[in-house]
């Protein structure tokens, strides 16, 4: 990481979104608090800001705001942490104007989306911004499918010459997309409408038109946590990057189980005899896995109980859920918090089960949603 002097400025973390595409996971937990390998996404972001020397952070909140504030206030981050709570949804540009009204943005400031998992060096981004002299710098990264994001074309000096939000696949623009991190000069505030607004729609195109937006290209870890499948992949990407040989907590009990690495086994997990776990299995803390269970390419949140003979493949199982004997959870399924699945139930591909539901019989068709 670059030294702290590069980032001695105010940083904004946008953490107010409703995260509807991540339901049912976000019905009970705000997206920024979803864990990546035992650690909430927001903690990854704040730790990166701290390492870059950013010690004055404002978190913009709206959905489940009290949950986020309670969590952050109960932990120590070694920084000045403030909140800006939206009374009504303001988009991702509106909160910046609100924060200016509440706290003042009179010098260069950093903006980070609260749903991005990355190893972006914020200090390097700020140094790039200062050396190029624009009003705004946008971090970009390369993806295979730019149609979900804002695609940017920039010249050799890094100046953005074209920006298209969510271009259709048949109208290719660029594989370099908006990575959800910006450095802004205070003058950018005049580009933000007073009404609820979005950066990609209402601000960035005007910055491009005026020739004051630059692109810093990030080539490391980057994942947008937009869908349950993205969230699962982000955990696997974190595992590949930080624990390529897997991780097993010293307090976990895995005697008699077969563990295929990389996998991530959290504190106080108990794996039964003849279990086969991995590769790419994340087992949350205090979970109890019975004998002869097979788990692969899946994430189980904390305090999950899985009885014997269960198969879980490429799925997510919410906190404090209970899975009975001989249950089969097939690929792409998402189980909310505190769900009870009775013995011998089949959960077919792409099933969504909302929190607190009890399932006592087979689900008949793929892609069903149990309310």
Catalytic residue positions, numbered: 166
Pairing status of strand 305-306 against strand 322-323: parallel
**Rounded-to-integer distance, Cα 133 and Cα 149, Å:** 26
Please check whether residue 272 is in contact with residue 155, taking contact to mean a CB–CB distance below 8 angstroms: no
Name residue, tokens 């918090």: 337
CA gap 202, 205 in Å, rounded? 7
Check if the beta carbon of residue 99 is closer than 8 Å to that of residue 58: yes
CA-nearest of 156, 118, 63, 153 to 238 is: 118
Stated length of the chain: 371
Write b or e for each residue in 57-79: b if 16 or more Cβ atoms lie within 10 A of its Cβ, otherwise e.
bbbbbbbbbeebeebbeeeeeee
CA gap 183, 199 in Å, rounded: 13
**What are 238's two structure tokens?**
């974190």
Our CA dihedral for 305, 308, 310, 316, rounded to 10 degrees, sits at 10
Expressed in angstroms, the distance from the first to the final Cα of the chain is 45
Q: What long-range pairs does 233-241 form, CB within 8 A, spacing at least 24?
A: 234/36, 234/117, 235/36, 235/37, 235/264, 235/282, 235/299, 236/280, 236/297, 237/117, 238/36, 238/37, 238/117, 239/37, 239/263, 239/264, 239/280, 239/282, 241/119
Is 23 within 8 Å of 63 (Cβ atoms)? no
Q: What are the Cα distances from residue 272, in Å, to 275, 287, 296?
A: 6, 11, 15
Nearest in space to 138 (alpha carbons), one of 46, 42, 223, 217: 217
């Amino acid at each position: 990481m670059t030294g702290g002097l590069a980032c001695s400025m105010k940083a904004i973390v946008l953490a107010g979104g409703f995260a509807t595409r991540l339901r049912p996971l976000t019905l009970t937990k705000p997206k920024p608090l979803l864990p990546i390998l035992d650690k909430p996404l927001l903690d990854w972001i704040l730790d990166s800001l701290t390492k870059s020397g950013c010690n004055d952070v404002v978190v913009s909140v709206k959905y489940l705001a009290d949950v986020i504030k309670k969590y952050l206030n109960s932990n120590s981050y070694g920084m000045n942490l403030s909140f800006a709570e939206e009374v009504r949804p303001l988009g991702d540009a509106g909160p910046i104007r609100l924060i200016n009204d509440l706290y003042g943005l009179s010098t260069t400031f950093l903006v980070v989306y609260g749903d991005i998992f990355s190893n972006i060096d914020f200090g390097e981004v700020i140094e790039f911004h200062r050396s190029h002299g624009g009003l705004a710098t946008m971090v970009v990264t390369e993806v295979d499918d730019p149609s979900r994001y804002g695609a940017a074309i920039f010249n050799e000096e890094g100046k953005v010459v074209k920006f298209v939000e969510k271009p259709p696949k048949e109208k290719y623009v660029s594989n370099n997309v908006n990575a959800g991190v910006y450095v802004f000069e205070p003058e950018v505030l005049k580009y933000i409408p007073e009404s609820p607004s979005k950066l990609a729609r209402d601000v960035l195109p005007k910055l491009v038109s005026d020739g004051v937006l630059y692109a810093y290209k990030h080539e490391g870890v980057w994942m947008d946590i937009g869908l349950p499948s993205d969230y699962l992949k982000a955990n696997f990407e974190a595992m590949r990057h930080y624990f390529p040989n897997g991780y097993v907590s010293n307090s976990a009990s895995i005697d008699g189980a077969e563990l295929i690495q990389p996998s991530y086994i959290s504190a106080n997990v108990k794996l039964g005899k003849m279990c086969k776990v991995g590769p790419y299995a994340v087992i949350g803390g205090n979970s109890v896995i019975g004998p002869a269970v097979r788990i692969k390419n899946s994430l189980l949140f904390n305090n999950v109980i899985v009885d014997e003979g269960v198969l879980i493949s490429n799925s997510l199982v919410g906190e404090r859920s209970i899975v009975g004997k001989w249950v089969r959870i097939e690929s792409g399924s998402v189980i909310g918090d505190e769900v009870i699945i009775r013995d011998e139930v089949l959960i077919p591909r792409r099933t969504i089960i909302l929190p607190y539901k009890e399932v006592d019989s087979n689900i008949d068709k793929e892609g069903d949603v149990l309310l």
